Amino acid sequence: MARTLRAAAITFLNGSAEPSPWARSDSPVLLRVSKPMVAHAEDRQSRPDIALLLFLLLNATLILRPGEMVPDLAEVPIYELLIVGACLLAHRRILRQFSWRAMTWQPVTLCVVGLLFAAVMSHLTHVYLSAAKDAGVLFFKTLIYYLLFLAVINSVARLRLFLLAVALASSGLVTLCLADYQGWVDLPFVNHVVELDGVTLTNEAQRVVRMRGAGIFSDPNDISLLIVAAG
């Protein structure tokens, strides 16, 4: 674990010049550049990538839900501020994905963009304007996250760092929910559900308490999926 954390810190501080193993020699990632351009790229990689840091923080925010843990932060749009900041810092890398060269090398991006129009048109064909708006806004947020992911998670080392951050955030939330479930602490943002589980031999109701999480993991099945993902 210590070796993994040390490698993650080096990845954030020094960037990563390690190309993706699936990158082709003719891909836009592996362009032939002159020595001054290489020196300039190495100078940029020596600086911390703040966009990567903000992206990791917004994923931790999505899982841990600090606005629900701390009532004073309930009205603060933490996730929105983080993703907007990350997009502003990585906007050139995001726009580069819409170049013709990038589209031909990675056509799945064009497919994801097409899904946005498909989601909207599926409701417009039935003149369901409110549903078209809701579907468009919802999928547009997903598209922004997808483009930001491709922009900042561009190497194997960064992918490992991303998975480590998700695992740590997930483990933290599961630990808090488990502590509340066992009665060790009383967390106001976690409310477990009591369900009827048949009757006993004496015809008494038999109930079972199912552990719940916070926010989008408030369903017992969803917190179970988070436990599996964190493992």
> Phi, psi (5° rounding) for residue 210?
-105, 135
What is the residue extent of each domain of the chain? 2-89+155-164
Q: What is the DSSP string of 133-195?
A: HHHHHHHHHHHHHHHHHHHH--SHHHHHHHHHHHHHHHHHHHHHHHHHHTTSS--TT---EEE
Q: What is the mean pLDDT of the chain?
A: 81
Calculate mean pLDDT across residues 6-20. 50
Q: Which pLDDT does position 208 carry in this prediction?
A: 84
Calculate mean pLDDT across residues 12-17. 48
Q: Which pLDDT does position 9 carry in this prediction?
A: 52
Q: Which pLDDT does position 2 carry in this prediction?
A: 54
> pLDDT for 94-136, tens place per residue?
999 998 888 888 899 999 999 999 999 999 999 899 999 999 9
